Amino acid sequence: MNELTSNPAPPLSHEDTTTYATWFKALADPMRIRLLNLLAVQRRSMAVGEIVEHLPVGQSTVSHHLKVLAEVRFVLSEPRGTSTRYAVNEKCLECFPAAVRAIMGLDADRAA
């Protein structure tokens, strides 16, 4: 028997499905994936200006993407003086594989 038939997980709650849909929507833009990858690889917080130097888009576009990613807590912001620094939220991103498993009915434990 496979995992789906041997111990089926209960259906996802409305709250879980809404949360997961919001996560997937935030990741639906390739530039946001590149931005997350940049922050993860750098392993440090970065100002918008620094991020712009590494991506083929302007400051306003980077700021918009950071806002979307911050709303779902994939990135954390830290005000410093007149600027804000952004870092990948590793704890939040670590929940993502568990969310996929929950959607597939492979885990009873929910990621949220």
CB atoms within 10 A of CB 46: 20
Q: Are 92 and 46 in contact (CB under 8 A)?
A: no
- pLDDT over 50 (residue 21): yes
Kindly indicate the confidence band of residue 4, based on its pLDDT and cuts at 50, 70 and 90: very low
d(C-alpha 109, C-alpha 7), whole Å: 13
Kindly indicate the confidence band of residue 11, based on its pLDDT and cuts at 50, 70 and 90: confident
- Condensed to tens digits (0 to 9), the pLDDT of residues 42-83 reads 999 999 999 999 999 999 999 999 999 999 999 999 999 998
- CA 11 → CA 2, 15, 102, distances in Å? 18, 11, 9
- Specify the pTM: 0.78
User: What pLDDT sits at residue 88?
Assistant: 94
Tell me the mean pLDDT in the region 84-100: 83
- pLDDT over 60 (residue 20): yes
Q: Which domains does the chain possess?
A: 12-103 (1.10.10.10)
d(C-alpha 24, C-alpha 7), whole Å: 26
